[in-house]
Amino acid sequence: MPNPDSSVSSNLPAIGMLGGLIAILIVFLFTCKGKSYFNYLLYGGLPILIYLLASIINILAQHLSSKSINVGRAFLGGLPSIGAAYLSLLISYISYARIPIASAIAPMFLKTSVDVVANPIQKIVPTFTNTTKNVNTNQPGATPKQSLPSTIGRNSAFTNFVSTAKQTGGMLTKKAKKYMGGACCSPIVTLEDIENENPIIMGLSYGFYMFFAICFGGIFGTGIALA
């Protein structure tokens, strides 16, 4: 009698290829971010596609294990993959889960190293947003607004924070100076700014978590299909 564990192991390359294929597909999908059909494809069409492909892989595993093909169990074994896919989408939706991925790959797109955070303004001066409304750049001695490099972002909250901090004077703490970047440290930018200018970075984060989710769900599901 064939050993189910050995059959699952022999199916690992197919599961890994499925995970890689879906990860690449997600990256391309995020090039269409902002389209009306984007959410339907990401949260509806993609999990269904993963379920169908995982079920087909389970049928292939049954065939390779010399067992009689049971389509019902093969599709039952596809359920863990669709469950893992939605769990991956939930994790990826959380911005803090995407920050490590964005920090690692952002320099490839921005041509400079940056520190990615969720919201730098609130971390430095919680009430600073209200202060920006009262600054008149036409006052004598006011420093003109300075923008970030085009590779990092335009008209962002971070830009407003830095320029206003320079105008008010005396409010730039040591940590605030780091947000301006310089020779000693990398500029700190928000995840939202980076992902808005480069949606592919967001797609790579989603694809990263989806790859491991499919591998986990595929292994578990193949065991069900071969039981």
Domain spans in the chain, listed from the N-terminal domain onward:
4-97+199-226, 110-196
Q: What are phi and psi of 176, to 5 degrees?
A: -65, -35
Q: What confidence score (pLDDT) does residue 28 get?
A: 94
Cα–chain-centroid distance for residue 8?
A: 29
Q: What confidence score (pLDDT) does residue 8 get?
A: 74
Q: Residue holding tokens 């591998």?
A: 215
Q: What are phi and psi of 117, to 5 degrees?
A: -130, 170
Please give the share of the chain, as a percent, with pLDDT higher than 70.
66
Residue ranges of the chain whose pLDDT lies below 70? 1-7, 119-186
Q: Closest by alpha carbon to 77, among 2, 23, 1, 7?
A: 7
Q: Is 36 helix (H, G, I), strand (E, B) or coil?
A: coil
Question: Is the overall model pTM greater than 0.75, yes or no?
Answer: no
Q: What confidence score (pLDDT) does residue 121 get?
A: 53
Q: What confidence score (pLDDT) does residue 216 get?
A: 93
Q: What confidence score (pLDDT) does residue 11 get?
A: 80
Q: CA 207 to CA 131: how far, in whole Å?
A: 39
Q: What angle do CA 84, 61, 13 make, to 5 degrees?
A: 65
Q: Residue holding tokens 């991925």?
A: 101
Q: CA 24 to CA 46: how far, in whole Å?
A: 12
Q: What confidence score (pLDDT) does residue 127 get?
A: 38
Q: What confidence score (pLDDT) does residue 140 get?
A: 53
Q: Is 116 helix (H, G, I), strand (E, B) or coil?
A: strand
